[in-house]
Structure 1
Amino acid sequence: MPEGFSTYETWPFECLHCLRVWEEEYLVRRQTDGHGNDVVIWTREGTQVQPPWSGSVCPHCGCGSVTTFPTGYFAHHPTTALGQRPGPTAGPAGPLRPAGEVTSDPPRHRIPPLLPYALVAISLLLFAGMQMYGGSR
């Protein structure tokens, strides 16, 4: 007979595409099999699912670029990267909504910073030019 215990864990997520922040609750069963190996089973609403760090999809925009934070992250880190505290009704990208609820809010798009890439490209071009000029002498 396997021995173990179950706990509820709430994991915060952020979509890297639309910046939506939400939380999902999991029932995590930790037990040992008959051979002494540890087994962890993640369930949501009675259905076995993958762990939160594996294969999450944004319920708002459907993007697979989702980051997770450990359980209790927002309780120990009062602000997010955008400097706002995601409370029970608001987050950096708008209100928190249940995972299955879809709204008609337009997704926000972040423009990636181009300056670091431009500086690297210019540095590489200068280095290559100096190597070509120095090698012809």
Structure 2
Amino acid sequence: MIKVREGFSAYETWPFECLRCLCVWEEEYLVRRMSDGHGNDVVVWTREGTQVQPPWSGMTCPACGCGSVTTFPTGYLSHQAAIARARAAATAPLFEAAGRRGHSPAMTYTLLAISLLVVTSVEVYEKVLR
């Protein structure tokens, strides 16, 4: 039987960014840090009263469901509000041009690749004709 000694609890807010759709959001956790009496640390992460995995493990994007998510240091977005606003403003025209919110950057790269392929094919065709 493991006897857990008292520790302390703290609320931590973790910022996340989806590497697919570039959605940025924050999640608040109650983190309980304790000792098991044998010199081992025990950390329990909870969100809304439910025990969950740590933020760096198993997070999915609430917008697109992608599992490719990165975290920032705690408090990063509150200190970098200007960067977050600039990023949102820079990506807004892409979303509007696509005619829908949540436009995937993969579509932009696909169109770019097709354009490059067409230009290259034309150049090769012209060299063959000469």
TM-score bin, normalised by smaller chain: 0.5 to 0.7
* CA contact 2:77–2:84 (8 Å) conserved in 1: no
Map of 1:71 onto structure 2 = 74
| Percent of pairs with identical residues | 66
Select which of 13, 27, 41 maps to 2:30: 27
Q: 2:103 aligns with which of 96, 108, 111?
A: 108
Output the TM-score relative to the length of structure 2.
0.64
1:70 Cα deviation after fit: 1.6
- Alpha-carbon distance in structure 2 between the residues aligned to 1:16 and 1:80: 17
CA-atom RMSD in angstroms = 2.9
SS at match of 1:75: helix
**Aligned ranges 1:47-58 → 2 under 5 Å:** 47-58=50-61
When normalised by structure 1's length, the TM-score is: 0.61
Distance in 1 (alpha carbons) for counterparts of 2:101 and 2:91: 11
Which residue of 21, 24, 27 maps to 1:18?
A: 21
**Residues in 1 aligned to 2:91 and 2:14: alpha-carbon distance in whole angstroms:** 17
Provide the C-alpha distance between the structure 2 equivalents of 1:74 and 1:37, rounded to a whole number of angstroms. Answer: 32
Deviations 1:22-57 (A, max 9, x none): 111000000101212111110001111111111100
Give the 3-state SS of the residue equivalent to 2:32 in structure 1: strand
The structure richer in helix per residue is 2
How many corresponding residue pairs? 100
Give 5+ residue unaligned stretches, structure 1. 95-104, 115-137
AA aligned to 2:17 is E
Q: Structure 2: give runs of 5+ residues left out of the alignment.
A: 93-99, 113-130
Local SS of the residue matching 1:3: strand
Contact 2:17 2:24 in 1 (8 A): yes
